[in-house]
Amino acid sequence: MTTDDQPTRTGPYRVLLVDDQELVRAGIGTILDIQPDLTVVGEARTGRQALDQARALQPDVICMDVQMPDMDGLEATRLVVADPEIHAGVLILTTFHREDYLVEALDAGASGFLLKNSRPEQLVDGVRSVAAGDALLAPEVTRAVISRAVAGRRAEGSGGPDGVPTGRLAALTEREHEVLLLVARGLANDEIATELYLGRATVKTHVSSILMKLGLRDRVQAVVFAYEHGLVRH
């Protein structure tokens, strides 16, 4: 995957489509295959097939449905993220009324979330973002799903402003704190760069530093962290 420190990619990003509905796979495939920088390299109708295909085809992005036979998308995502032979980011595509699944997918390690009724250009941008190593959270998901997850955890007595790990937060520089708040709002690196008048490479460096200092796996966890500890409110 392309980063600011690696050579420019010469070939298109490789995408694996996982959905038990053939019509859905065909529709998504049509949208993605007409893009010069994206190519669909395979399809799967179950999570178990997705694992086999991911190992064999080495995609950059897996567009993953949640409800499927044999193995659902949540378990498949968890296994994909844990598999050292697979280097793909997982983009969850689901319907809005399954918020509970998305909360679980956060912990499973998905890199992005989009609704199935998203516009074609949102899907294309989402795949590109995940392929480039940026996490993607649809605004609807950020507001509804993360808020719901945080509320549930606080009701159970975990998380919340009183439980902020002040030592780790204190380790952030003022600029890193600013970047964390913008990440929590769902801004991509390019948007953060514009907002703070920084270079994209500088933003990526700040994000990496934030994740390391806070002990977080990725940007998705950073968003959850910010909401869970009261750093960002709706």
Can you list the domains of the chain with their CATH numbers?
Answer: 13-137 (3.40.50.2300), 160-228 (1.10.10.10)
Tokens encoding 108: 């499973």
Reported as type and span, the H/E element at residue 75 is: helix 73-82
pLDDT confidence of residue 186: 74
Q: What is the pLDDT, as a whole number, of residue 124?
A: 94
Please compute, for residue 34, the number of CA atoms within 13 A of its CA located in the half-sphere on the CB side. 9
| pLDDT value of residue 2 | 38
Q: Under DSSP, is residue 74 helix (H, G, I), strand (E, B) or coil?
A: helix
For residue 150, the SS3 value is: helix
pTM above 0.85, yes or no: no
Q: Please name the helix (run of DSSP H) or strand (run of DSSP E) that holds residue 204, with its range, or none.
A: helix 200-214
pLDDT in tens, the chain (234 residues): 334 444 445 569 999 999 999 999 999 999 999 999 999 999 999 999 999 999 999 999 999 998 898 899 999 999 999 999 999 999 999 876 666 666 777 778 888 888 888 889 989 988 998 898 777 766 656 666 566 666 665 555 544 444 445 667 889 999 999 999 998 887 778 889 999 999 989 998 999 999 999 988 777 778 878 877 778 765
Which helix (H) or strand (E) element contains residue 32?
helix 22-33
Rounded Cα distance, 63 and 124, in Å: 11
Dihedral angle, C-alpha 51, 81, 127, 42, nearest 10 °: -10
Q: Is the dihedral of CA 19, 15, 212, 196 positive or negative?
A: negative
Alpha-carbon radius of gyration of the chain: 17
Query: CA 201, CA 206: separation in Å to the nearest integer?
Result: 9
Residue 31 is predicted with a pLDDT of 96
Q: Is 125 helix (H, G, I), strand (E, B) or coil?
A: helix
Strands in the chain per DSSP E: 13-18, 38-44, 61-64, 89-94, 112-115, 136-137
Q: Are 123 and 31 in contact (CB under 8 A)?
A: yes
- The pLDDT score that the predictor gives to residue 162 is 42
Distance CA 212, CA 172 (A): 10
